[in-house]
Amino acid sequence: MGFLLAKILFLLVLAATGGALFAWWWFRRHYQDVTLDYARSRDEWASWRESFEERLATRPAVDLQPITQRLASLEAAVDGLEILERVDLAPVQARLEGIERRIGEIRLPEPPPPPDLAPTEKRLMAIEHALFPVQTRLDELESAIRDFRMPAPPTLDLAPVLERLADLRLRLENPRARTVKVRAGSRNLLSHAGHGKPDDLTRIKGVPKVLERTLHKVGVFYFWQIAEWLPEDVRQVDARLADYRGVIERDHWVSQASELAAAPTAAHRPLEH
């Protein structure tokens, strides 16, 4: 162990010696003496200063005579200016003082004393106390109205009433409706137009005005009559149309009358009793 420590110490001493020798060699190789440069620089500065002072001493003196003359002429011009006469503001000042004095003498009227509102306040308080029960009653009524629930109205079936009204209207418009009879041997050929104003049968294709009068004689006055015809009804009416046989089926009267009977202006079939 002691040998190892001695060996390490030897190596450290050897490294320190080598480093010192290397530093000495490096500084010796790169070191420069700056004292000579400093002395040289100081001598050069002293020489330049002496030469500058010599050049400055040899420069000619500046002639300030023109500037002095210029200043003198300016002073003479300023002295020769005519100064305006000073304005006398004494009258204006006196006028302003007079105005100020008159303003100070103005006396504004004393404001009227504030009105005595005590009686009014008492009256208002009395009215407020008198209205308190009314306000309480109004609050109670408002609360009662808010709590009031309206029962739902029952659903009324007005169809029978409407039918009855339609029947009454028909009777009023046609007083002879009660006496209208179906002709013997037919289902809906009427004795006369007792169920309202007759429909315009000429709106059916193939029905001229002459044929319409023939249909009235047969007992046909309304679209709803033709719309209800069965084949045997068609044959029965067709047999009575001497010059127009076959026109009912050929022009499809039943289908045309069904569409025309649904129009709002067409007469409606009477209610059966």
- 199-256 confidence digits (pLDDT tens): 999 999 989 999 999 999 999 999 999 999 999 999 999 999 888 899 999 999 999 9
Quickly count: other Cβ atoms within 10 Å of residue 248's Cβ.
21
Binning the chain into helix, strand and coil, the percentages to the nearest 5 are: 65, 0, 35
Does a structural domain hold residue 237?
Answer: yes
Number of domains in the chain: 1
Q: How far apart are CA 30 and CA 28, in angstroms?
A: 6
Does a structural domain hold residue 31?
Answer: no
In a 13 Å sphere around the CA of 136, the CA atoms on its Cβ side amount to 6
Q: Which domain holds residue 248?
A: 170-261
Residue type, 179: T
How confident is the model over 30-57, as pLDDT tens digits? 665 556 777 888 889 899 888 888 887 8
Does a structural domain hold residue 131?
Answer: no
Does a structural domain hold residue 231?
Answer: yes
* Average pLDDT, integer, range 138-159: 72
Q: Which residues contact 193 (CB under 8 A, 6 or more apart)?
A: 216, 221, 222
Does a structural domain hold residue 194?
Answer: yes
Determine contact, residues 194/251, Cβ cutoff 8 Å: no
Biggest CA-to-CA distance, the chain: 167
pLDDT at 135 over 50: yes
What pLDDT shows up at residue 172?
63
Does a structural domain hold residue 179?
Answer: yes
Does a structural domain hold residue 189?
Answer: yes
Does a structural domain hold residue 114?
Answer: no
- ∠ at Cα 263 (234, 226), nearest 5°? 10
Q: pTM for the whole thing?
A: 0.37
